[in-house]
Chains A and B, each alone.
Chain A
Amino acid sequence: EPEVTQTPSHQVTQMGQEVILRCVPISNHLYFYWYRQILGQKVEFLVSFYNNEISEKSEIFDDQFSVERPDGSNFTLKIRSTKLEDSAMYFCASTSGGRLNTGELFFGEGSRLTVL
């Protein structure tokens, strides 16, 4: 069964360092997302991406964050200068779309980011 894959599964970094989290969405999907979950809290929307540009972003997704689809298969989230509060599980998700882009969302296993 097709699945969303994410790497790395866990990354530890020093505050102020740049981090890139990678995702390979399901191959025929067109819409891509990043969500995050701080330990013990709700899963939160970060950004949606379609047709090589950001469709929507939350207030969390500030100038320190960026997303890119560098080739036909990868979708990346970059945090330019990490802060302690960026420590979280980051989930990539994708969907084929559907009416008003509300199709079933499929999530990856997540990348746990720990900022020291």
Chain B
Amino acid sequence: KQEVTQIPAALSVPEGENLVLNCSFTDSAIYNLQWFRQDPGKGLTSLLLIQSSQREQTSGRLNASLDKSSGRSTLYIAASQPGDSATYLCAANYGNNRLAFGKGNQVVVIP
């Protein structure tokens, strides 16, 4: 079964610290992996998409790495801000955009 796990489930950090969010997937036969942000009661905002052939992808303060062979991806958020408080979801794409989601990393950035 294609399971996606995110650790830690929740974390709080003081403003300015770097965030490291981990995602692991059991089946490494992915086409790509997508990171999303979800605010409470809201939709999913796409942050980064990493193709299976890529090692990392960057957008502003966000950097996502992918190690397909070991079934892991990491999302780094540099110099965290209170506005970064949200739940971050990773989703592995096994083809035809049938995404397998993790349960999310719930982040609180303390001012």
Contacts and interface: CB of A to CB of B under 8 A. Distances in A.
A107 B96 contact: no
Interface stretch (A12-20, A71-79, A80-88, A97-105): A97-105
Interface of B: 4, 31-32, 34, 36, 41-46, 49, 89, 91, 93, 95-103
Contact of A48 (B4, B96, B100): B96
B99 A45 contact: yes
Interface of A: 6, 31, 33, 35, 41-45, 48, 55-56, 58, 89, 91, 93, 95, 100-110, 112
Interface of B is mostly: strand
A31 B98 CA distance: 12
Contacts, number: 64
Given A42-B101, A43-B91, A102-B31, A55 B42 contact: no
A95 B45 CA distance: 14
Q: Which 9 A-B pairs have the closest CB atoms?
A: A109-B43, A107-B44, A102-B31, A43-B101, A104-B49, A42-B101, A110-B43, A101-B96, A45-B98
Contacts of B31: 100, 102
Nearest to B51: A102
